[in-house]
Amino acid sequence: MNPFVQTLPQSLTYNMVNRLFPQLKAAAYLFDQILEETDAGGAIADFDAAEIAGGADEGTPTNYGGYDSRDVHRWMELTIALQAFLDDAVTVTFADATTEATTVRELIVRPYLPFVEPEV
């Protein structure tokens, strides 16, 4: 067998653990940081005030940090929605019918280690 050819299980687990989960972990931590900064610094109230002062309440685009304030508003809503998704409850049901209650975030950030055959 060619050692450079991976089976489907090897390819799947490699891609999940080494490619997908690091990106998802980084995104989850960044969402946390963005929301913490915006909530702690009162940025959302500042943002709303800047939109109204610029006429956004009348449909006029407003500059906020170099971007259309409506786009920034969309990004904030997306960040809040993704944050809520990360905290959604998930029940994992295994082949033996046992279950594990967790969240999307816990599934993403938990450490995954290679399987080690038990010694007999």
For the chain, percent of residues with pLDDT exceeding 70: 91
Q: pLDDT for 77-94, tens place per residue?
A: 888 889 899 999 999 999
Assigned domain for 98 exists: yes
Q: Residue 35 — very low, low, confident or very high, per pLDDT cuts 50/70/90?
A: confident
Reply yes or no on whether the pLDDT at 4 is more than 70: no
> For residue 3, what pLDDT is reported?
56
**What sign results for the dihedral spanned by CA atoms 27, 29, 32, 36?**
negative
The rounded distance, in Å, linking the Cα atoms of 60 and 51 is 9
Assigned domain for 85 exists: yes
Q: In the block, which residue shows the tokens 């997306």? A: 78
Q: What is the extent of the structural domain holding 92?
A: 18-109
The rounded distance, in Å, linking the Cα atoms of 99 and 85 is 20
For the chain, percent of residues with pLDDT exceeding 90: 40
Number of domains in the chain: 1
When the pLDDT of each residue in the chain is averaged and rounded to a whole number, the result is 86
